[in-house]
Structures are given as structure tokens and as C-alpha cells.
A and B are shown apart, each in its own frame.
Chain A
Amino acid sequence: MSRIECIREQEVLDAITSGRWPDRLGEDLSSHIEGCEICADLGLVAQSLSADYQESLKDVRVPSAGLVWWKAELRARQDAVRTVNRPIRWAQYIAAGCGIATVLFFLRLVNFSVFSGLHLQELIGDFLPIPFVYVMLGALAVVISLAAYLVLFDD
């Protein structure tokens, strides 16, 4: 089984860290690296990566700690709001479902045939003009929708 490590790897890494790679290694380590494929590979790769890392660090511009903290705090609060609202929203869905079920249940009990001879004109025609009634009903629908929106979505 071939070796995957060499006992002198740390010496090679120390030479790179201290800036002695590749010219000031000393005779002993230099001759070892010439005969050790593991240390030769290590030196080449580690030196390339280390130099690249040091070069990259020079140009780094990271946001301030305060900004990162503030963004994290804001997002955490939004998540908390979402978590708190989840059961409320489910309760709303369940209530809406119950309401629809109740309406459907009562609709089944109503005998619609009694309305067949009844007309809007006959009911209110003597008191109000029909177009005015339609305008009033339309306005009422808009006001109710607006009120519902303002109550439910005030974020």
C-alpha cells in the first residue's frame, strides 16, 4: 500500500508560512523534497493556495458588523412575526371554512320557489329609482372591500 502522508509535511508547511519556500529551505529539507513526491506535491499546491489567499485578502471589502447584525435582527423579527401569525392565519382559514359551510347548510333549507314571482321593481320601485339602488349596492361593495383590506392588511 502506498503512503498518503509524510512525516516531514509540517516542515514544508512551516517553510511556506515563514516565506522560506522554495529558495531557503536548507539542504536537508531540499534534498528530502527532491526524493519525496508527497512533500513536493504539498509544497507546490500549498504555496499556490497560500499566495492566492494572501492576495485575495488584500482586496476584501466586507460589510460592517453592525449592518450584518441589523439585517439579521430585522429578518429574525420578521420570522418571529410570521411564526406568531401562523396559528392566527390558520384560525382565520378555519373560521372562513366554517362560515361557508354554514351558509351552504342554510341555503339547502331555503325554498327558492317562493321568490319566483317576486321582482325588485315591485318591491322598491315605488320608493327609489332602480339605477340608484344598483349604484348604492356597488358603492357598498367597494366600501366593504376597502374596509376589509384596511383591517386585515395594515402592514
Chain B
Amino acid sequence: MRDITLSELQRLEPQTTDDVLQMDHETFRALYERTARPLWVYLWRRTGDTQLADDLLQETYYRLLRSRATHESEAHRRNYLFRIATNLVHDAYRQRHEQHPLPEESEREHPSVLPDADESGSRHDLDRALSKLSIRQRDALWLAYAEGSSHAEIAEKLGLKVASIRLILFRARRKAAKLLRHMGSRS
């Protein structure tokens, strides 16, 4: 018996495969134009790898297009997009640490996968400070003060409660500020 081939499926059942993507092309284009650049920056700053950021960007939009979730608004869809991206970044962390366990104790506690090349002094300090935070604290800080997301939006993007976000942000800010001041005083 012979399998159905890709070309045959395209020829015979175009409506079936088009239905697989849960958004029309124009809606997708409009959403992409608004979200792709900030999403890529988020992925890049969270992974420190431009190639990986490219791959995760593609994967994020693919999962959004395949998702049957309904979205009340554009903002809700955007939050959902970032939530997919956050989960993919966390998966990438796990895979990286399973494949390449870090030797230094400090790095093992606080995996540093932020960019390390071509940085200004302030970016370098920021990266070092962020690398001392937990993954969740970094996510929350970035979404709050780089993306400008509200507590409710961050909660939706990270899949947490709003009350938790307040506490995470408070602790993350306090720790990051202390580290930034310390680095500033040394340089």
C-alpha cells in the first residue's frame, strides 16, 4: 500500500491543510509586523544566541498558528504569543543544561546564557546582574521594564498569579539594583 504524498494532499485536499493554520494570512501579517521585533529581542536577550532566537521565533509563531485557543483581544493574543516564547526559552535552558552542564558552581546556580560579545559596559553590567537572578525573575523584569507590560499582562505571559508577580518583581528589582550599584562602584 502507498502513502499519501505531500503533493497529492495539496492537490486533493487544500481546504483540509489550510484549516490547520488557525489564522488567515493578512491577520497573521498584521500581528507579525507588530510583534516580531520585540519578540525576537526578548528571545535573543533571554537566550544570548541569534540563531536560536531565529529558530524560536519561527517555532513560536508556528505554535500560535496551530493553536486552537480563542483570543478576546489583540493584547490577549500578544500575551499568549509571549507565553509560548517563554515556555520555549525555558525548554531551551533545560536542553542546554542537560547537554552541557556548566562547571562553575555560580554558573550552575544561575545559568548565564545572555549575550557576552560586543557589549557596552552598561549592558555587560546588566547581563551580569541579570545572570544572578532566577529565570523567572529575569523574565518578569524584562517584560515589566523593557516591554512595559502591566502586572496582569506579565502574569498572563508567564502563567502566574498577579500577586506573585508583585513579589517576584520586588525581589528581582532589589537584588538587581544591589548588584548594579556594586558593579558601578567597582568600575
Contact = CB atoms under 8 A, between A and B. Distances in A.
Interface residues of A, number: 49
B20 A76 contact: yes
A103 B65 CA distance: 48
Contacts of B98: none
Contact of B3 (A13, A62, A85): A85
Nearest to B29: A65
A91 B172 CA distance: 56
A108 interface: no
Interface in A53-67: 53, 55-57, 60, 62-63, 65-66
B2 A69 contact: no
Interface stretch (A40-48, A130-138, A139-147): A40-48
A84 interface: yes
B61 A72 contact: yes
Contacts of A91: 1
Nearest to B37: A60
Contact of A155 (B5, B40, B141): B5
B145 A50 contact: yes
B142 A88 contact: no
A48 B142 CA distance: 10
Contact of B61 (A13, A40, A68): A68
Contacts of A72: 21, 58, 61-62, 65-66
Contact of A71 (B44, B62, B172, B176): B62
B146 A45 contact: no
A48 B180 contact: yes
B52 to A, nearest CB: 14
Nearest to B32: A65
Contacts of A80: 9, 16-17, 20
Nearest to B35: A62
5 contacts: A40-B177, A52-B45, A62-B36, A69-B28, A72-B21
Interface of B: 1-6, 9-10, 16-17, 20-21, 25, 28-29, 32-33, 36-38, 40-41, 44-45, 54, 57-58, 61-62, 65-66, 120, 122-123, 125-126, 129, 141-142, 144-148, 166-167, 170, 172-174, 176-177, 180-181
